[in-house]
Amino acid sequence: MPSPRRPFLIGVAGGTCAGKTVFCERLADRAGPDLVALVRLDWYQVDHTHQTAAERAAINYDHPDAYDWLLLNDHLAQLLAGHSVMAPTYDFAVHNRSHVVQEIQPAPVMIVEGILVLHDADLREKFDLKVFVDSDADVRFIRRLQRDVNERGRTQESIVAQYLTTVRPGHEAFIEPSKRFADVILPHGGYNEPALDLLLARVHAASHAPFDDSRPA
């Protein structure tokens, strides 16, 4: 009986509100759920249930220590082996994991999206294609301000304070340096149509590639 084809794994990184989530969602929508499955780094933020709301709000979520890399790498290993996983979810309103879990099924192409997915070496080695979505810092800040006010109920003052104390330093220390690991750098955020067409073609090609079990799981 032939071995199942190992999923083609794509890592998509970029700064806060660079457009990576929009880009990945549009790519997955155009490819279809039978071809592409998404995994989000945000789901794997460390559980802080034992801390107060004020303590959770003060955590630096732009630092690698904010993420459960062991769980993410374990789930990806299972997905690459052809098994489904029960992934956590995250509630941004309360700065903590929610009680809801979701089943993720393996697909021919798996996309892992998040600000730091090219930072972690163990995770980076799993990717068959590494992508960095690039946008100007002022554009990213404006998008973040609008998003956090409209969708997460935060004040402008808290957003600016967080951006200056953790978001921008985290970007400069961890996210921007990870760009050097990218195979492809996509400017202009999530609505770069030529880039979307290019990645869609790569996704279709990867889904029909011969099975190769030599790549790391």
89-104 confidence digits (pLDDT tens): 988 777 778 888 999 9
- Alpha carbons 216 and 65: distance in angstroms, whole number: 24
* One-letter identity of residue 50: H
For residues 211 and 60, the model is more confident at: 60
Give the pLDDT confidence score for residue 215 in this predicted structure.
53
Cβ-based neighbour number of residue 210 at 10 Å: 5
Residue 157: strand, helix, or coil: helix
pLDDT digits (tens, 9 = 90+) for 113-135: 999 999 999 999 999 999 999 99
Backbone region of residue 19 per phi and psi (left: phi > 0; alpha: psi in -120 to 50; beta: other values): left
Q: Which CATH architecture has domain 8-206?
A: 3-Layer(aba) Sandwich (3.40)
Residue where the block lists tokens 């990806």? 76
Which secondary structure element, helix H or strand E, spans residue 200, and what is its range? helix 193-207
Residue where the block lists tokens 């490819």? 31
